[in-house]
Every structure is written in C-alpha cells, then in structure tokens.
C-alpha cells in the first residue's frame, strides 16, 4: 500500500481555532503520519462523543468504523434539517461544527495527525476503504467548519438543496474521477488533471445553485481536500482551486 505523506508547515500554534489547526511559517517539510503517536483509546472515545454531539447517532449503524455510513449520516443530518424546516439548517450545521471542534480539541494535535490517517486506521482494524473515507470526511469537514465556515453557513440551504436534488450529478462527477485515476498505466499528470476537474465541477455545481462565486470556491476547496487523500501526489498549486475559474457564476 502506498504510503500517504502528510504535508505540514513548521510553526504550529495550539490550541485549535474554530476547529482548525492554525499553522504558520514559510519553510515546509514532510512527515509520515507514523511520526506522530496515536492514543487510540482517546481517539475512539472522542469519535463516539462527536457522533453523539452531532446528533447523527440514530442516522446509521457502525458509524465509528464504517466510512460510507458516517458520510451518509452527516449528509442526511443536513438534508433532514432542510426538508423538515429549512430555518433549522443553520443551527444543525453549527452544531455539527461545534461537535467537530470539540472532537479535534479532545484529541490534541498529535492524535489528530497520528490517528486520523489511513495507515493508523488500518492498523486499528479499519478496512482500507473505510480508513480512506474517515480521513477524507474529517479533512473536508475541518475546512468546512473553519476557513470555509462563514460562507458555508450562509449557503447551507443551497448545500442541502444540491445534495437532495443533484445527487445523480454528484455521483456522475465522482465516478468520472475514479474511472480516470483507476485506469491501468495512467500517469500522475492525468490523475491530477482529473482531480482538478473533479473539484472544479463540484464547485461550479454548488456555486451555481447558490448563485455565489464565493460558495463555488469554498465548495471546490472542500471537495479538493476530500479527494486529495486519494491522490496526494497532486498536492501542488497547479491543481488548487482558483477563484477566477468561477467568474461565470
């Protein structure tokens, strides 16, 4: 299994700010996740608390181990709030982010990095697919609840609307991405081109429904972080989201 390399910067500031790790400094370096310790007992307890605080414990089974079920439960939480009373969707998202912030805060930096990565999760009896999904889910949610929070909460009903009404298109965009990167003998350039196309298309979809370039960009960033876990070789400014790409929204 290919080792997943986490890129981080020196100058780590703790504690967490709005659920996000604040990292400063200009000089970057690479560390394997295994360089950080993982107290799995703390992680497991924190994850269970997150699920309960986020009010998703009744929206799926085996949420502490099954990544597909966890992602479905989080999406269902937002969709249910929108469907039942769209005036409650903001509060629901705020509560989800509060639970995420509390979860990361209870873990501390070393456990976030040391536990929430594919290698460590597999060592703790997660399937490879579930391990990827857990890292993807929390990488994306961390951004949604920190740097992207203001835009996301302003457009949370647009987000829910898109999940409900454009599920087939979202699935198609995702399948096209996986269909490309899983081709035999495909090189990294083509994989990264597919990665950029994926997150740009997701950004455009959500941004058009929200009639907002800012929401398009934030959605792009969220899905870029989500899928970067699958193609870490695409960690480059060349494949980043670009606000100017959404000028037609």
CB proximity list for 240: less than 8 A, separation 6 or greater: 224
Distance CA 102, CA 96 (A): 10
Distance CA 82, CA 76 (A): 10
Calculated CA dihedral for residues 126, 129, 131, 133, nearest 10 degrees: -140
pLDDT of residue 14: 25
**Weakest-pLDDT range from 14-23, 124-133, 143-152, 221-230:** 14-23
pLDDT of residue 119: 94
pLDDT: which is higher, 1 or 173:
173
Distance CA 96, CA 144 (A): 10
Q: pLDDT tens, 150-208?
A: 999 999 999 999 999 999 999 999 999 999 999 999 999 999 999 999 999 999 999 99
pLDDT of residue 209: 98
Q: pLDDT tens, 206-234?
A: 999 999 999 999 999 999 999 999 999 99
Model confidence at 33, pLDDT cuts 50, 70, 90, reads: low
Running DSSP on this structure, what letter comes out for residue 117?
Answer: S
pLDDT of residue 20: 35
Q: pLDDT tens, 41-100?
A: 999 999 999 999 999 999 999 999 999 999 999 999 999 999 999 999 999 999 999 999
9: which strand partners?
28
22: which strand partners?
13
Helix (H) or strand (E) holding 80: helix 67-84
Distance CA 143, CA 18 (A): 10
Is the whole model's pTM more than 0.75, yes or no?
yes
Measured over all CA atoms, what is the biggest interatomic distance in the chain, rounded to whole angstroms?
49
Mean pLDDT of 95-120: 96
pLDDT of residue 31: 60
pLDDT of residue 35: 74
Burial of residue 234 (CB within 10 Å: 0-12, 13-18, 19+) is buried
pLDDT of residue 36: 86
Model confidence at 34, pLDDT cuts 50, 70, 90, reads: low
């Amino acid at each position: 299994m290919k080792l997943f390399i986490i890129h981080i910067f020196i100058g780590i500031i703790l504690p967490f700010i709005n659920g996000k790790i604040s990292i400063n400094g200009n000089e970057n370096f690479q560390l394997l996740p295994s360089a950080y310790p993982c107290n799995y007992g703390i992680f497991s307890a924190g994850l269970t608390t997150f699920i309960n605080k986020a009010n998703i414990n009744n929206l799926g089974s085996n949420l502490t181990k099954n990544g597909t079920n966890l992602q479905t439960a989080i999406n269902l939480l937002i969709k249910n709030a929108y469907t039942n009373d769209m005036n409650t969707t903001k509060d629901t998202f705020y509560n989800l982010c509060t639970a995420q912030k509390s979860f990361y805060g209870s873990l501390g930096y070393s456990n976030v990095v040391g536990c929430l990565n594919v290698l460590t999760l597999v060592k703790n009896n997660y399937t490879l697919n579930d391990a990827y999904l857990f890292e993807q889910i929390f990488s994306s949610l961390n951004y949604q609840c920190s740097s992207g929070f203001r835009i996301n909460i302003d457009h949370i009903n647009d987000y829910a609307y898109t999940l409900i009404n454009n599920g087939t298109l979202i699935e198609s965009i995702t399948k096209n991405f996986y269909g490309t990167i899983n081709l035999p003998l495909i090189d990294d350039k083509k994989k990264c081109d597919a990665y950029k196309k994926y997150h740009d298309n997701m950004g455009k979809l959500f941004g058009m429904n929200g009639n907002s370039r800012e929401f398009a960009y934030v959605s792009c960033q969220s899905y870029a972080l989500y899928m970067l876990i699958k193609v870490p070789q695409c960690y480059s400014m060349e494949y980043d989201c670009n606000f100017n790409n959404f000028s037609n929204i």
